[in-house]
Amino acid sequence: MLSRHDFGKKFKWGVTISAFQNEGAANRDGKSTSIWDTFTEKGLNVKNNDIPGETSAFYDKYEDDIQKTAFLGFKQFRFSIAWTRVIPDGIGTVNPKGIEFYNKVIDKCIENNLEPWITIYHWDLPQILEDKGGWTNRDILDWFGNLVHVCVQYFGDRVKHWIVMNEPMSFTGLGYFWGYHAPGRRGMNTFLRAAHHVTLCMALGGRIIRQMQPNSKIGVALSCSYVKPSNHFFFNKGAARRVEGLLNRFFLEPLLGMGYPTKLLPGLGLIKKHFEAGDEQRLAFDFDFIGLQYYFRVVARFSLFPPLLFAREVPPAQRKSELNEMGLDVYTGGMYKLLKFYSSYPQINSIIITESGVCYTDFLRGKKVHDASRRRYHQKMLKQVKKARKEGVPVDGYFVWTLVDNFEWVEGYSPRFGLIYNDFKNQRRVIKSSGHWFRKFLKGDERDS
């Protein structure tokens, strides 16, 4: 049986959105251009030639969305700050209209008995900073440090939970190695330089928040995947260990004071050429929690390409796996395995599942959206969390990705993750059956066998 009461009174139940994917209003009230504005305007890699437009119009509909979050029974509301909205020049000049907007969001959360959780960086770097090198320019430590300072200065009187960054592996790997995401740059050296600066900035952001607001709770949100070898041959097992090292350990271990996992991935030793004196110590910070974000399993096999990693994924379709709308492997059992993996680090005292969600094809029929597959997905995930908690894993929260269907980066508008259906033509919201299930579950009225 699965019940809300299985998780205890202090367990955090929340939803997550992001600025670029939800706000819209890209050219209003002083906001400047982000790398994702530029990337999507050029039509680079975005499916169906979709353009963000107003996305889900959170900038105008924030009151309604926050009220719906409270109606569904959640108690935490996680959103991100658009760097381009609060500091349009990227470096120093604060935009009063941007500050005003986020103050209104925070106040509306509190008015609806929702605890605001702020993500300081969720991928939307100001284009003006990318023109100066972006994450490959070490000056970004100063730029990012200023952003953190501004956020705590203006919002810290009411916000006590901070996530410094969202999914560093995703935005550095896809944006600075493969060129598949904004800003569309490629190459191992570009990736390693950007990744090192990102790691330094995560720890730096934590130290700034701790200094300015000692009683706050500070974390990072890391993407991770359950990785297994394609078979039991030793070279495929080695490939799986290397993939796991890259996806699950590359950013985590330096933050925990262990350094980059270069013994497992010797090629990553090249990152040392981007070090300056004292960086080894600057990489680490004692975070209050680590955010876990799990969406898909990876089955790995040995391959001569790419070099340094010497591994490739066996495509999910080839394995006849259950797939989501994006063609990714749906495997809820990976949640338990990853929670056990994270809890093996003695430095981690609290784990928050800062995103969990799935995209399936949704249909609006009249005034209803019946998404039983999404409901079952969350039920299965929560059973994995319950199992881990029973075994002593310190997992303390579950945040759904996402509240409202939005713009899913290069996948455009096709993948729908929301508990609330959005008609992008008129921004009309309809709570899906999965959302109604969460309302009953969080009220304690719903049990699942």
DSSP string, 123-188: S--BHHHHTTTGGGSTTHHHHHHHHHHHHHHHHTTT--EEEEEE-HHHHHHHHHTB-SSTT--B-H
How confident is residue 343, by pLDDT bands cut at 50, 70 and 90? very high
Catalytic site positions: 167, 355
Q: Report the pLDDT value the prediction gives residue 308, as an integer from 0 to 100.
A: 85
- The pLDDT confidence band at residue 445, using thresholds 50, 70 and 90, is confident
Model confidence at 70, pLDDT cuts 50, 70, 90, reads very high
Residues of 45-62 as b/e, b for ≥16 C-beta within 10 angstroms?
bbeeebebebbbbbbebb
Average pLDDT of the residues in 339-347: 98
Q: What type of residue is 432? A: K
* Domains of the chain, each with CATH number or no CATH: 4-224+247-289+333-443 (3.20.20.80)
Residue listed under structure tokens 């290397």: 242
User: Across residues 90-101, what is the average pLDDT?
Assistant: 97
Say if CB 25 and CB 54 are below 8 A apart: yes
Chain length of the chain: 449
> 1 falls in which pLDDT band (50, 70, 90)?
confident
| pLDDT at position 448 | 61
User: In this structure, are residues 408 and 359 in contact, taking their beta carbons and an 8 Å threshold?
Assistant: yes
CB environment 299-316: b (16+ within 10 A), e (fewer): bbbbeeeeeebbbbbbeb
The pLDDT of 229-234, averaged and rounded, is: 97
Write the pLDDT tens digit of every residue in 298-321. 999 999 998 889 999 999 999 999
Question: pLDDT digit string (tens) for 172-207?
Answer: 999 999 999 999 999 999 999 999 999 999 999 999
| Contact status, residue 202 vs residue 162, Cβ threshold 8 Å | no
pLDDT digits (tens, 9 = 90+) for 122-139: 999 999 999 999 999 999
**What is the tens place of the pLDDT at every residue in 138-164?**
999 999 999 999 999 999 999 999 999
Which pLDDT score is estimated for 28?
98
Query: What 3-state class would DSSP assign to 282?
Result: helix
Q: Where are the alpha helices (DSSP H) in 344-426?
A: 372-390
The helix (H) or strand (E) run that includes residue 206 is helix 188-212
- Residue-wise pLDDT tens digits, 386-400: 999 999 999 999 999
Question: pLDDT digits over 415-444, tens only?
Answer: 999 999 999 999 999 999 999 999 999 998
